[in-house]
């Protein structure tokens, strides 16, 4: 699992959108982010259609697309899903607050 200590929402967005999970990672949790004593995890998601999905073909570089979701996750613990990639190379993660 990749672990990040961040100092800004922008860095959280970078960890979610730009770095993504390590393809060799095992287990359901692949990313853990700590910010202001809050712990956010990104876990592989294979469940039913999720109401809040941010989908991109490759990596997510657009802060504006993710910022509202990250802010709600931090303030209200509202989880969301990111889906990146195409065809057989799709990575779907659910982002949750674990603290």
pLDDT of residue 75: 95
One digit per residue, the tens of pLDDT, for the chain of length 99 reads: 778 888 888 888 777 655 555 555 555 767 889 999 999 988 888 877 777 776 766 566 667 878 899 999 999 999 998 877 776 777 788 899 998
Predicted TM-score (pTM) of this structure: 0.76
Distance CA 57, CA 43 (A): 19
Q: Contact at 8 Å (CB) between 34 and 5?
A: yes
pLDDT of residue 25: 55
**What contacts 24+ positions apart, CB below 8 Å, involve 49-55?**
50/80, 50/81, 50/94, 52/78, 52/79, 52/80, 52/81, 53/80, 53/81, 53/82, 53/83, 54/80, 54/81, 54/82, 54/83, 55/82, 55/83, 55/84
């Amino acid at each position: 699992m990749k672990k990040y200590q961040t100092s800004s929402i922008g860095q959280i967005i970078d960890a979610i959108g730009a770095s993504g999970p390590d393809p060799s990672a095992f287990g359901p949790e692949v990313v853990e982010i700590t910010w202001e004593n809050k712990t956010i995890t990104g876990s592989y998601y294979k469940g039913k259609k999720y109401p809040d999905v941010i989908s991109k073909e490759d990596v997510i570089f657009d802060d504006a697309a993710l910022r509202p979701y990250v802010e709600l996750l931090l303030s209200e613990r509202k989880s969301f899903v990111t889906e990146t990639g195409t065809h057989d190379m799709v990575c779907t993660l659910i982002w949750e607050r674990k603290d």
